[in-house]
Chains A and B, each alone.
Chain A
């Protein structure tokens, strides 16, 4: 996405489900082939084969401990894998050093606990990457950051510290921080599960608007509203395996595997 053609979030928050999302291309962006990962004896990722195309929004669901976070973390190599390959835009993930750092800049990550830099202002949180990693001029980085903060609706908090913001605001800043690197894809690991219920939608609205603009996203979330509205595909994981993949409506109305039926039964009754 480019920064020029941003639409203010407020307009999109009211958008209804009928509004058109761009269809994902058939061009693969993130490809995992036969990925295996253990934590000691525990086999946390088993035989993972997954292709995410440019512009695609993939929602990852599954019970606690099924390996969803590990999958996300493996994709930008916060967690190394034991075997298999992960390709980003056709290139295998570099093992370490500068090339790896460059790759990480291409894949944004939004964490459950926001992880804003606690000693830096909101504005500095967003400009740090562009200035230090992309060598952007400070004035330019600041302009970009202010546009992004505007778009996620927290521009008026730019000079505060993270601890002075609500969880929902912090998470929107975290999204702006990821966007500032102009990444090819963004990974979201349960971005709304640490939030008070009244703040969930302000974050989901931003994510829906990103999806609408064609950002490639992998989103671990149990927010079915988001999945139905924005996802092109739902992936269901259990015990480190991808058990089922389907379009959101098909998955929620007619899950095929017993594990998925059981899981949906549990989250739907809550």
Chain B
């Protein structure tokens, strides 16, 4: 046991998890922002906006994340020369954030849209009836209620995002699953304990997210 702990302590596990947390943090913020814009498009009165919104969601929700991740590196970076940072490692980190963002935005969009569905149509009609144009009605009346009705599905999307940050391994971002692979290769006798340690690490990160979103979704529910 103490041997195992010694093995663990020779690796910067916390540092690797910190990469995953940062990936999730940035992709979460950007993905939520993009998802909100997409949700707005999907409920907009303009047919072409709705078409773009639903086209985006269909495309990215049905494409495997690994493929988007590899696309970002091999097409955006290798072929088109897209650089999100002048630092080589940071560039890969931000390309991974980009992939996680565009992929999860589709899911954030759908989570928000399920929240929009909890808002009775009468709310939108009343907003239009006092003369609010679409965007103002969305910003002041519909979306504030929609977010409050979407906290649980948004939380689920965030949890999926946190776990999906490990896909950044596909483009060599030094996050925790790469470290795990390295640890297992060097310490073949501890495969199961190493695996367990990393899994527990994710559980420790993800459980509070679930608890907080459950709490908030009850706390902030709009009473009707």
Contact = CB atoms under 8 A, between A and B. Distances in A.
Contact of A181 (B120, B131, B141): B131
Contact of B120 (A98, A105, A115): A115
Contacts of A107: 129
Contacts of B223: 118, 161, 163-164
B148 interface: yes
Interface stretch (B13-21, B132-140, B156-164, B199-207): B132-140
A177 B122 contact: no
Interface in A164-222: 164, 174, 177-178, 181
Residues of B in contact with A, size category: 20 to 34
B129 A117 contact: no
Nearest to B139: A132
B133 A111 contact: no
Given A118-B145, A119-B145, A163-B224, A132 B132 contact: yes
B37 to A, nearest CB: 20
A101 B131 contact: yes
A218 B189 CA distance: 83
Contacts of A118: 123, 145, 222-224
A111 B130 CA distance: 12
Contacts of B222: 118-119
B127 interface: yes
A17 interface: no
A105 B128 CA distance: 9
Interface-central residue, B126, B140, B222, by most chain A CB under 10 Å: B126
Interface string A122-138: 00000011001100000
Interface in A44-62: none
Contacts of A248: none
Interface-central residue, A103, A111, A118, A177, by most chain B CB under 10 Å: A118
A40 interface: no
A97 B145 contact: no
Contacts of B224: 118, 163
A102 interface: yes
Given A128-B140, A161-B223, A163-B224, A102 B148 contact: no
A101 B133 contact: yes
Contacts of B123: 115, 117-118
B182 interface: no
A168 B6 CA distance: 71
A75 to B, nearest CB: 11
A129 B129 CA distance: 10
Given A115-B120, A118-B145, A119-B144, A133 B131 contact: yes
A102 B130 contact: no
B222 to A, nearest CB: 5
Contact of A133 (B45, B125, B130): B130
A42 interface: no
A78 B129 contact: yes
A85 interface: no
A126 B161 CA distance: 41
B129 A132 contact: no
B122 A113 contact: yes
18 contacts: A98-B133, A103-B131, A104-B130, A105-B130, A111-B125, A113-B122, A115-B126, A116-B126, A119-B144, A128-B132, A128-B140, A129-B131, A129-B132, A132-B136, A132-B140, A133-B130, A177-B126, A178-B129
Interface of B: 45, 120, 122-123, 125-133, 136, 140-141, 144-145, 148, 222-224
Interface of A: 76, 78, 96-98, 101-109, 111, 113-119, 128-129, 132-133, 161, 163-164, 174, 177-178, 181
